[in-house]
Structure 1
Amino acid sequence: MGEGERYEEFAPPEALRPFVRLLWTYAAPAPTGGVQRIAPDGCPELVIDLAAPYEEEGEDGVFRPQPSVIFAGQLTRPMAIRPVGAVEIVAAKFEPDGARAFLGRPLIEATDLRLDLTALLRGFTAPSGDPAGQAAALADCLETLRRAGDWRIDPAVRAEVAAVEREEQGPSLSSADRRALQRRFRDRVGVAPRTLRSVFRFRRIFDHALGQDADAASWLEAGLAAGYFDQPQMARDFRRFLGCTATEWAREQMELARQLASQSYKPQG
């Protein structure tokens, strides 16, 4: 990490664990200002900028400031951001199917989008420079919303998500039941099961490769360990999800992008 940079993760309170995978905080007092590519990981997130919000590149190539409070839906294509000042963030990473009640609308409507939730969390405060305090403040906020909203999980969708993440086949269903489950899956997750399986496989590359020398051989070894058949198949997913090659990403990425990619992402039991 750079000087003063920090990244920390916190387990959510018991009542939130069916919905929230983890809480995390990040700070970079003097970021480089370089463009960072954020890798998909299969989980939507609530991200609160306590300092200067990042700028995000639009489809027209223009960078514009993000809102200070965003809901980031599932990613299926590259997202490029850059800092414009000191960074301090507190965020909640939801389970893949855990944000439906929080958002109050189908997750498919948030896929590849960053929704402005500033009004929903108006008045939220968190202590500057206190990661544990920031995570606790966000947990308290989410718990208040959970109690007011009667959040629930769809057991069949949760079972399908778990099977996809473990690289297993879901339960045997009739064609009609399978189509109905796929509709509910897209509503609660934001992508189809096949797409989520591809994201999970892509995400496992980072668990194997980061921390090693980022040469072509180490990335290929990581890709094979993650379940890819060969280098061209892995390269296609790097272009699809990050818009660059593995070695380009490793050479260019720093700060928040690298911290998020470095998170352990093991199947949840």
Structure 2
Amino acid sequence: MEYVVRVPGAPLDRFVDDIYCLTGVPRHRRMNVPPMPSAHLFVNLGGPARLWDSDLSVPSAVFADGWFMGVWTRRFLFEYPAWVRLVGVHFKPWGISPFVDMPATELRDRWVPVDAVWRRSLDRIRNQVGDSTSAIETLRILEEELRSRLAEAPSRGLELVQHTGGRLETSHGAVPVGALTDAAGVSVNHLATQFKSHVGVTPKRVARIYRFARLIVSVDPSRPVDWSEVAHTAGYFDQAHFSREFKDFTGHTPTEYLALRRRFPAERGFPPDSGPMPAE
């Protein structure tokens, strides 16, 4: 598939990591997606996509149009259509907050149709894009939509979450929550409350997801992997805890994951494959 990405300028860059467009025939239809430090918006311009929660009590969903997803704390499965034309937004964990008028906890570990959040907007966006619009123009259109929806004044607590979340981002989750609260001059409970409001999870959970994301993208399956060293570099000092979290987040042991990556190498220059992996 063709992958085209756009990093927005200020002020969107405080809330959005990138906007991207996927077009073409997928190499793998079904992908297993571990928790990553992002919330998402997807506008589907191709065939219907299907999603499964790793919690088997949650029914699967089919989306022909578009959906929002908050931060996920567990893995989920995503099935591409036979022909993909999808434009998406990778929000920072707190980045979706100024664009949606709902608590972030209502989007955590959930997928919600776009029109349930941005009412009567999806058809307008899809009509603007059309069938022949280039990927670059499609990204520009979605970026303008985001700019038009960015709240002028940040809601209460967002600046605190953005600042402390930024420290977790740059440190890959290595800054202790106590150090964040001391630097911000707030209590642990206050910071946790604001993170739940704007991210949907606590700062401790965000730190865990950043730490795991650093680990997973650092693994080079084409070379021998010393899992103890990889885990220690990413901030895991308890091997048993690392093994449990790896299995929880991917559905595989580290050895199984490495074997899967070697069977299905990621496409060069195709960033979405650095986290998600083919589902067998």
TM surpasses 0.5:
yes
Aligned match of 2:219 in 196, 200, 209? 209
Q: Distance in 2 between matches of 1:25 and 1:226?
A: 30
Q: Match of 1:92?
A: 89
Contact 1:22 1:94 in 2 (8 A): yes
1:226 and 1:155 map into 2 onto residues whose CA distance is 27
Report matched runs for 1:140-155 at 5 Å: 140-146=144-150, 149-150=151-152, 152=154, 154-155=158-159
Q: Shift of residue 72 of structure 1?
A: 0.9
Q: Structure 1 residues 214 and 152, CA, compared in 2 at 3 Å: closer, same or farther?
A: farther
TM-score (norm 2): 0.79
1:161-193 Cα shifts (integer Å, max 9, x gaps): 123232222141799743222111110011101
Partner of 2:94, secondary structure, is coil
Question: For residues 190 and 261 of structure 1, do their structure 2 counterparts lie closer, same or farther at Cα, with a shift above 3 Å needed?
Answer: farther
Alpha-carbon contact 2:65-2:122 (below 8 Å) kept: no
Residue identity opposite 1:240 in structure 2: D
- Which one is further off, 218-227 or 102-111? 218-227
1:220: how far off?
A: 4.3
Percent identical residues: 21
Q: How far apart in 2 are the matches of 1:81 and 1:254?
A: 18
Q: Alpha carbons of 1:150 and 1:236: their partners in 2 closer, same or farther (altered >3 Å)?
A: same
* Alpha carbons 2:47, 2:64 under 8 Å: kept: no
Decide which of 64, 67, 74 is 1:70's aligned counterpart. 67
1:138 has 2:133 as partner: no
The correspondence of residues 17-32 of structure 1 with structure 2, limited to 5 A, is 17-32=13-28
**Of 219, 223, 246, the match for 2:231:** 223
RMSD: 2.8
Retained in 1: the 8 A contact 2:266–2:274? no
Contact 1:38 1:79 in 2 (8 A): yes
Write the distance in 2 (CA, Å) between the matches of 1:72 and 1:230.
31
Any residues of structure 2 matched to 1:1-269 within 5 Å, and which?
5-33=1-29, 35-58=30-53, 59-60=56-57, 63-118=60-115, 119-125=120-126, 126=129, 128=132, 130-146=134-150, 149-150=151-152, 152=154, 154-165=158-169, 166=171, 167-168=174-175, 169-172=179-182, 177-210=187-220, 212-213=221-222, 217-250=225-258, 251=260, 259-262=271-274
Please, which runs of 5 or more residues in structure 1 have no aligned partner? 264-269
Q: Shift of residue 67 of structure 1?
A: 4.8
Secondary structure class of the residue paired with 1:96? coil
Which stretches in structure 2 are left out of the alignment for 5+ residues?
A: 276-280
Judge conservation of contact 1:10–1:24 (CA < 8 Å) in 2. yes
Judge conservation of contact 1:31–1:83 (CA < 8 Å) in 2. Answer: no
Contact 1:73 1:190 in 2 (8 A): yes
SS of the residue 1:229 aligns to:
coil
1:214 & 1:81 partners in 2: Cα distance?
28
C-alpha separation in 1, matches of 2:148 and 2:186: 38
Closer, same or farther in 2 for the Cα pair 1:248/1:36, shift >3 Å?
Answer: farther
Matched to 1:248, the amino acid is E
Q: Any idea what SS the aligned residue of 2:249 has? A: helix
CA distance in 2, matches of 1:238, 1:162: 24
Contact preservation (8 Å) 2:228, 2:239: yes
CA distance in 2, matches of 1:41, 1:100: 17
Q: Which residue of 2 aligns with 1:267?
A: none
- 1-structure distance, mates of 2:60, 2:160: 40
Cα distance change on mapping 1:64 and 1:255 into 2, 3 Å: farther
Could you say if the C-alpha distance between residues 28 and 259 of structure 1 is closer, same or farther in structure 2, counting changes exceeding 3 Å? farther
Measure, in 2, the Cα distance between the counterparts of 1:133 and 1:221. Answer: 44
Give, in whole Å, the separation in 2 of the partners of 1:231 and 1:27: 40
Is contact 2:108-2:200 (8 Å) kept? yes
Q: Tell me the distance in 2 between the aligned counterparts of 1:122 and 1:151.
A: 28
